[in-house]
Amino acid sequence: MRGNVLSDFRAGYDGTAVMERLAQVLDPELDEPILDLGFVRSFELHSGHASVELRLPTSWCAVNFVYLMAQDVRRALLTVKEIDQVTVSLGDHCAAADIEAAVNGGLSFAEAFPGEAAGSLEALRRTFLRKGFLSRQERL
């Protein structure tokens, strides 16, 4: 699915580092790279600003998992030398506006959904990373 990402880089720019970073972002529930799952629809990089469009399999994907993926995309891309700003868009997801505003603004999940969410998603992230690790160990 990696070859299906519409990408726009300046002439002569090798987008390998960008695609390597995106390949490290996992769907927390499936423990598969979002790039391989086809969730990354498009990518643009202009003057240090990266724009990424994600399309999930359903507009009702769990809000906390979508937030984690969008946040992970932003964090991963900000490690690329040429990128200093990242905008993630989520298309027709049911909570796209709230998640995009929070992730693109560097806000927490609780700040994205005040009164509905409490605390951090880090414990949930660790739980799914551990489950993914144990599942890979079992397959070996």
* CATH at residue 131: 3.30.300.130
For position 4, what pLDDT does the model report? 66
Question: pLDDT tens for residues 59-89?
Answer: 999 999 999 999 999 999 999 988 999 999 9
Q: E strand or H helix at 54, and its extent?
A: strand 49-54
Average pLDDT, the chain: 89
Alpha-carbon span 97 to 20, nearest angstrom: 27
For position 1, what pLDDT does the model report? 45
For position 6, what pLDDT does the model report? 67
Query: Which tokens hold the place of 38?
Result: 């086809």
The pTM of this model reads: 0.86
What domain range includes position 90? 2-139
- Per the structure, the count of domains in the chain is 1
For position 3, what pLDDT does the model report? 53
Are residues 96 and 90 in contact, defined by beta-carbon separation less than 8 angstroms?
A: yes
